[in-house]
A and B are shown apart, each in its own frame.
Chain A
Amino acid sequence: MNLTEFNRILRQVFLLPIIALLITAGALYLQVRGANETVRLIQDNDANITQAALVAKLVLDQESGLRGYQATGDERFLTEFRQAESTIQGELDNLATAVQADANQRYNVEDLRNEYQNWHDAFALPIMATVRAGGTANDVTLNLYGKTLMDQVRQDIRSITQHAEAARSIRIEQWHRQVRNTVEALLAIALGMGVLIGLFTRSRLKAVSSAYRTSLEVLSRRAEEIFQSEQRLRTTLVSIGDGVITCDAEGRIQMMNPVACDLTGWTQAEAHNRPLEDVFHIVNESTGKAVETPVAKVKRLRSVVGVAQDTALIRKNGTRILIADSGAPIRDQTEEIIGIVLVFRDITLERRTQETLLSNEKLAVTGRLAATIAHEIHNPLDAVSNLLYLMRNGTSQEEFPQLIDMAESELARVTQISRAMLGLYRESRAPVSVEIKSTLEDVLLLMEHRFLELQVTLHTDIPSPVRVHAFPAELRQVFTNLLANAAEACSPGGNIRVSACYTNAGSPAAGASIDIQDNGPGIPQEILSQLFQPFFTTKGENGTGLGLWVSKGIVNKHGGSINIVSSTDSATHGTAVTVFLPEKPAFNTVETN
């Protein structure tokens, strides 16, 4: 039910009783008017009866006056007679007028007038004349005649009166009937209207009530749904394994989930309505400088943002953890930003693990060469030890110089290997100018024995020195990885070609290009894309799967690039890895994704 319908019902319920009352009033009025009319008629009747009585009195006055005069002959007895005589005609006229509506009564009144006139003229006047003349009027016959005439008059009056009284009774009867009718009608109407109003109102109100109940049910259901939905969302939010913080459009904290409270060290209550920076205090991990918060960034860029690498969160108690986070705007239906939601997690462990992996990989590289290194160190030392033994036991002095020479050259070998090996491991703190030709040659020396072992032939083509800015140990690590891969790929009997040169001289893209080719079986297309992923290896148990991943990371850090081209074609099979290192790179932090 909508508002218009409801108003219509209200109007109906309001108007119906009024209309009913008006109708009732109308009916009542009609009845009352009818009754009043009847009463007026009754009053007319009463007037007629009174008039007739008056006439009767006048006649009686005349008669008694006459009789008195008749008896005494005194003129004083005729006063009343005279009075009555003078007015009776008028009264008779009045009576005539009063009953003129009724034909019967008219005749009666005419009769009366005639009879009276009769008496008056035929009896009363002669008697009076007689008595005045001194005679007597005792004659019985005459008086009887007079009485007869008077009886007529009385008879007339009586019939007029009776007639009027009869009419009166009828009218009164009528009036009673009318009153009864009114009462009945009133009751009937009242009852009828009452029932009608009652039924109508009840049905309308029922409609309203049921509509109201429906509304209440809908509301209640909605409220329940909203509550459930809110509960679900709340539970979900609370269960999220990352920290979640929501802020309003000004960057004041509205909500923090338990993980966020845990990571920042602030409780929800403490943090509420504070600016984000108070609670979410982030700095660059290495420089310690404050970093733009995601809230500021989102407001600026008006889109989803991630945060820079190496961001550390300073917790309430002052300790630091490394975090990765992202922020997103919360928009309302009009696309206005009404808040910002921030999601972050502790990556300290992740980062440390990564770092450990990287440094382990460095060791692993060393480990791969362990056999070679053992060989390259033990053999010369064994020779030196044997030479010393000889010099102690049974060689002559003149042979010493020769033996000492041999010992020295063997020791020089050890030193060279050992230095090359340390170069693999120990790193400089800052990039230095690295000469690529000698670096490659160092690594090739380290790997010489391994190449022999794998029966791989090496060709080098490095015409002249090339210098770049780099971390030397890391470059050695990359070269070692690539050369070992190449050797293992084309063993036995394969060829490896190593070349390096300076490219794009004079341009900002100047640098060293190092090329390592092998004529092994090649890498299938579908594997090529996965090569640089961590833990991907084609060497089964023997590969860590991290070599190329780490190498790529190092090359990227140096602002360079690494590319692999390969063919499995029977005629031209082989793989070529090209590394480009810019001469003067801007160093990025190691990206290992």
Chain B
Amino acid sequence: MPRNFPLVLCIDDELVGLKVRKMVLERAGYQVLTATDGVSGISVFENEPVDVVVLDYSMPGMHGGEVASRLRQIKPHVPILLLSAYIGLPGEVTSLVDLYMTKTEGAPVLLQKLGRLLQQPVAAP
């Protein structure tokens, strides 16, 4: 359910990148929670009223695809945006998430896509 200050959960193992993303999102009016790996990310997701998840694909331990499927099991209505440094992820991963983009597309595109995700009615996968 969209709110004035949607809560975004960012999960990424890149510390600097995560910090910078948080700054960008906060400047754009979001509240941001962060997690640096899949396990802690899932735990935050369970316990907090997260509105949207921005999920990195390549992480040590559980990669983004596994995390996404766990998240879907917990709260399937929460939209997930998959971020990746890679181009060309396998279909079974991209079908799990609502939107997929690469990291090279830049901050404006990220904000725009995120906005679109939050405006759409929730679609159960």
Q: What is the interface of chain A, defined by CB distance below 8 A to chain B?
A: 371, 374-375, 377-383, 385-387, 389-390, 393-395, 406, 409-410, 449, 452-453, 455
Contact = CB atoms under 8 A, between A and B. Distances in A.
A409 B17 CA distance: 12
A395 B23 CA distance: 10
Nearest to A375: B85
B16 A406 contact: yes
A25 B86 CA distance: 130
Nearest to B58: A375
B103 A410 contact: no
Given A378-B103, A378-B104, A390-B27, 15 more contacts: A371-B86, A374-B87, A375-B58, A379-B14, A379-B85, A383-B17, A386-B17, A386-B20, A386-B24, A389-B107, A395-B27, A406-B20, A410-B16, A453-B60, A455-B61
A374 B14 contact: no
A383 B104 contact: no
Interface in B19-67: 19-21, 23-24, 27, 58, 60-61, 63
Listed from nearest, the 5 A-B pairs whose CB atoms lie closest are A378-B85, A382-B103, A389-B107, A452-B60, A383-B17
B90 to A, nearest CB: 13
A374 B86 contact: yes
Contacts of B103: 378-379, 381-382
Nearest to B27: A394
A389 B85 contact: no
A395 B107 CA distance: 14
B125 interface: no
Contacts of A455: 60-61
A375 to B, nearest CB: 5
Contacts, number: 67
B94 interface: no
B61 A383 contact: no
A377 to B, nearest CB: 8
Contact of A375 (B19, B24, B86, B106): B86
A387 B60 contact: no
Nearest to A384: B20
B108 interface: yes
Interface of B: 13-14, 16-17, 19-21, 23-24, 27, 58, 60-61, 63, 85-87, 102-104, 106-108
Nearest to B86: A374
Nearest to B63: A453
Contacts of B107: 385-386, 389-390
Contacts of A406: 16, 19-20
B1 to A, nearest CB: 27
Contacts of A453: 58, 60, 63
Contacts of B104: 378, 381-382, 385
Nearest to B56: A379
A264 B104 CA distance: 58
A382 B17 contact: yes
Given A383-B16, A383-B17, A409-B16, A374 B24 contact: no
Contacts of B58: 371, 375, 449, 453
A281 to B, nearest CB: 53
Nearest to A385: B106
Contacts of B13: 452
Nearest to A399: B23
Contacts of A385: 104, 106-107
Contacts of A390: 20, 23-24, 27, 107
Given A374-B87, A375-B85, A378-B85, A389 B60 contact: no
Nearest to B83: A382
Nearest to A392: B107
A272 B21 CA distance: 82
Contacts of B106: 385-386, 389
A389 B25 CA distance: 11
Contacts of B20: 383, 386-387, 390, 406
A453 B57 CA distance: 11
Contacts of A371: 58, 86
A381 B17 CA distance: 9
A418 to B, nearest CB: 15
Q: Counting chain A CB atoms within 10 Å of each CB, which of B23, B63, B85, B103 scores highest?
A: B85
